Amino acid sequence: MRLVALAARVRLGWRLSGSGPELRPGRGHWTAAGRSRSPREADTPVFQYVGERAARADRIFVWGFSFSGALGVPTFVLPGAGPEPRAGSRPRRRIQPVPYRLELDQKISSAACGYGFTLLSSKTKDVTKVWGMGLNKDSQLGFHRSRKDTIFSMGNNSYGQCGRNVVEDEIYSESHRVTRLQDFEGQVVQVVCGQDHSLFLTDKGEVYSCGWGADGQTGLGHYNITSVPTKLGGDLAGVHVVQLATYGDCCLAVSAEGGLFGWGNSEYLQLASVTDSTQVNVPRCLPFSGVGRVKQAACGGTGCAVLNGEGHVFVWGYGILGKGPNLVETALPEMIPPTLFGLTEFNPEVQVSLIRCGLSHFAALTSDDARGARGCGVWCGSHGDSGQVVHLMLLPDRLEPGPGLRATWTAQQGVRGDRGPS
């Protein structure tokens, strides 16, 4: 009896509370369901997830071929190195197909990719540190401090590309030798490294080169090795150069007036517009009339690309150039339709702002002047290699970490994107 009464009271209690909104008398009048019981909007607490002046941290993303360790994530190469238990039984990751965030304590100011290795630089208050990851067969990595305005070189010097005299039978692995290069007139503002040579650009607009010259990529008028950085002449004499580009054995230079100069290997029709010879050892002016004012140049293994003042990209050379499977080689620059970079009637102001080349792929960064947002397009050709970049596609395509990408650097088998502050 008592149990029954208790059960009945409990059931009544449940029913009373369960039908609250409809039957509760409230303040003596019926109010709409769902409104009377819920607390007033003004009384609910307000959460703050982010402060008013929160700033975005810079991030580094890596993707590509990871067996060489160039991506900087140890668990890709040695799964046993991870903190999780039983991670060693997992197979090592060969390709990282989508951008992966690299977590570092330091703020990275710039990055560069080589063949199987990566170098990052971070600026602290008085020194700039260089961090390296990847293949170290020729001591191309090494912890080293540098002050501003000085150039140091390390790595394989069999062709003198480090700027010092070639020593016969020198062993390059495990070498701590780092050379400081000082024989330039003026400050060096840009250094670009090709396969076996190096080019330096000073603030006066002069170009110096050293290294292997069998294809004429040193541009000094001969096909020999140069061990000491030497100034270039030819069509570049008296021209103020603002940007250099090289990756394989062909070199391009952009002048302040928007002109384009090239020298080096021309087996893939990179310089075929001005000469029929396959090796050009003196810088020659490339007068492309349809391109307009050249803002940036990028040179890959077999193809070249330039960016003009209006944000259009022109490609020429050999290989997969980005204009469909039918265009395999061309000697004259062809423009890539801006619709492939996201230009629609919805976004009419999309322009390409940065281009880079890897050995057989290109990357472009777009920027929308009206919105300030940026996207990244990567297109590449595979000459048998797989998984070089996100998509083995002929068409420039947007990647996910699109907005806010400040710069991308490409390597033969890996790509890096660095997210800027905005």
Partner 1 sequence: MGSRRLALARLHGLFAVYKPSGLKWKHLRDTVELQLLKGVNAGKPPAPEQRVRFLLGPMEGSEEKALTLTATSVPSLTNHPLVCGPAFTSLKVGVGHRLDAQASGVLVLGVGHGRSLLTDMYNAHLTKDYTVRGLLGKATDDFCEDGRLVEKSTYDHVTREKLDRILALIQGSHQKALVMYSNLDLQTQEAYDMAVRGLIRPMNKSPMLITGIRCLHFAPPEFLLEVQCMHETQKQLRKLVHEIGLELKTTAVCSQVRRTRDGFFTLDDALLRTQWDMHSIQNAIQATAPRVAVELEKSLRPGLGTPAAPQP
Is-contact 208 193, C-beta < 8 A? no
Contact range with partner 1 by CB under 8 A, out of 67-75, 86-94, 138-146, 371-379: 371-379
| Residue among 1, 17, 32, 51 that touches partner 1 (CB under 8 A) | 51
Residue with tokens 């420039």: 396
Position among 4, 41, 169, 173 found at the interface with partner 1 (CB under 8 A)? 41
* Near partner 1 by CB under 8 A: residue from 373, 385, 387, 406: 373
Contacts of 216-221 spanning 24+ positions with Cβ under 8 A: 216/263, 216/264, 216/265, 216/279, 216/280, 216/281, 216/282, 217/246, 217/249, 217/250, 217/251, 217/263, 217/264, 217/265, 218/281, 219/251, 219/263, 219/264, 219/281, 219/282, 219/283, 220/281, 221/281, 221/282
What 50-55 contacts at long range (C-beta under 8 Å, 24+ apart), as own/partner pairs, is 55/421
Quick check: 38 binds partner 1 (CB under 8 A)? yes
Question: In this complex, which beta carbon is closest to partner 1, that of residue 126 or of residue 345?
Answer: 345
364 makes contact with partner 1 (CB under 8 A): no
The interface with partner 1 within residues 374-403 (CB under 8 A) comprises 374-375, 393-395, 397-403
CA separation for the pair 9, 400 (Å, rounded): 59
Tell me: does residue 406 bind partner 1 (CB under 8 A): no
The interface region with partner 1, picked from 194-202, 229-237, 243-251, 324-332 by CB under 8 A, is 324-332
Can you tell me which of 19, 106, 187, 422 binds partner 1, judged by CB under 8 A?
Answer: 422
Nearest C-alpha neighbor of 14 from the set 29, 6, 37:
6
Least distance between partner 1 and beta carbon 278 (Å): 29
Distance CA 88, CA 75 (A): 9
> CB count, 10 Å around CB of 233?
15
Shortest approach of partner 1 to residue 137 CB, angstroms? 35
Measured from the CB atom, is 93 or 398 closer to partner 1? Answer: 398
- One-letter amino acid at 181 equals L
Q: Does residue 44 bind partner 1 (CB under 8 A)?
A: yes
How many chain residues interact with partner 1 (CB under 8 A)?
44
Alpha-carbon gap, residue 60 to 107, rounded angstroms: 10
Q: For residue 103, state whether it binds partner 1 (rule: CB under 8 A).
A: no
Is the Cβ of residue 47 or residue 143 nearer to partner 1 in the bound state? 47
Out of 2, 27, 32, 49, the only residue in the binding site for partner 1 (CB under 8 A) is 49
Structure tokens at 376: 């990244």
Establish if 74 lies at the interface with partner 1 (CB under 8 A): no
Q: Does 46 bind partner 1 (CB under 8 A)?
A: yes
Selection from 121, 140, 218 nearest residue 178 by Cα: 140
Q: How far is the CB of 404 from partner 1 (least distance, A)?
A: 6
Our finding on whether 342 is near partner 1 (CB under 8 A) is yes
Task: Name the minimum Å distance from CB 281 to partner 1.
Answer: 37
C-alpha distance from residue 134 to each of 69, 74, 162, 222, 230 (Å): 4, 10, 19, 34, 30
CA distance 373 to 347: 11
Q: Is 32 in the site for partner 1 (CB under 8 A)?
A: no
Task: Show the tokens assigned to 372.
Answer: 């300030």
Residues that bind partner 1 (CB under 8 A): 34, 38, 41, 44-54, 323-326, 337, 339-340, 342, 344-347, 368, 371-375, 393-395, 397-404, 422
